[in-house]
Amino acid sequence: MEEVSGMVRNQESSFTVDLDRIEEGIAVILAPGRFQWHLPQSYLPAGVSEGMTITVTLKNNERATSARLERIRALRSDLENR
């Protein structure tokens, strides 16, 4: 757990969203705070259909982050050495 601004936060965060509809392969998701997300239908778990409530879990992917930062470092190095 991590403390940020007096709040204790876990390593991951979960919340629910509603799948409002699917239009031409795009899932329209209603998220907390009246936000709408538009995601490819292929991102949805199997068996999910319009009107269902879905749990979304966010967590840090340290391996992918490290790999991305390394790619950026390598690109910067290549640019600087031209």
pTM over 0.75: no
> Beta partners for 54?
17
Pick from 1, 35, 40: nearest CA to 15: 35
* Averaged pLDDT for residues 65-73: 95
Three-class secondary structure of residue 23 per DSSP: strand
CATH class of 2-80: mainly beta
pLDDT in tens, 29-57: 999 998 999 999 999 999 999 999 999 99
Pick from 78, 18, 81: nearest CA to 44: 18
Q: What is the pLDDT of residue 9?
A: 67
Q: What is the pLDDT of residue 47?
A: 95
- CB distance 54 to 17 below 8 Å: yes
pLDDT band with cut points at 50, 70 and 90 for residue 12? confident
Please give the residue that has the higher pLDDT: either 63 or 4. Answer: 63
